[in-house]
Amino acid sequence: MIELTRGQELALETDDGQPLVRLQMGLGWDKERGAGFIGTGKPDVDLDATAIQFADGRLFDIAFYNHLETRDGSVVHLGDNISGRGEGDDERLTVDLGRVYAKVDTILFLVSSYQGHTLDWIDNAYCRLLDERDVELARLTLTDGTPRTGLAMAKLFRDGDGWRLRAIGEGVAVTVPTESLDRLTRFL
């Protein structure tokens, strides 16, 4: 497993150079201590994982809590967690790179705060990439006191016949992914 930093890239292939086909992107978080305790009136922090497909810099399709699967079936959102409670990944997206439409050249992974809480309300936040056997390939730590409502985590992009992952880890003002696409194209 590799702990990724901004701008770092990883070829999505096995140790013997074969391209990886099926992946999972896991997102996990906890509410910052003191945020939302009884009597404070502060709600749980609802983060959402989103995968946005682009073709030539234009939106192609999206998978998120309100649209769980891309039209080609290559990206599937496995369900919405509205609190971050529990151990392990709170939300997961599966990606079958073999099913991605040929026109799609980039898949951007985004975290957004549905209720507009900034990411400094969360603790122990991460995204991680797993292969089809649930082996963790890479991890990006998200908690750095980001005073934004969203974070462009990473992107998958075509590299010849294969795919690569590039860590982004940059805050962005976003709550509902479909309303913020103009702010995301700079990460392509």
Q: Please tell me the pTM assigned to this model.
A: 0.85
- Residue 180 has a pLDDT of 76
The predicted pLDDT at position 85 comes to 57
pLDDT attached to residue 120:
63
DSSP string computed for 35-84: TT-TTT-PPPP-EEEEEEEEETTEEEEEEBTTB-B-TTSSEEE----SS-
| pLDDT given at position 54 | 96
The pLDDT assigned to 37 comes to: 47
Domains, the chain, in order of start with CATH, read 2-187 (2.60.60.30)
Classify 184 as helix, strand or coil: helix
Q: Residue 35: what pLDDT?
A: 47
Stretches where the chain sits below pLDDT 70 are 1, 30-46, 79-88, 114-123, 142-146, 149
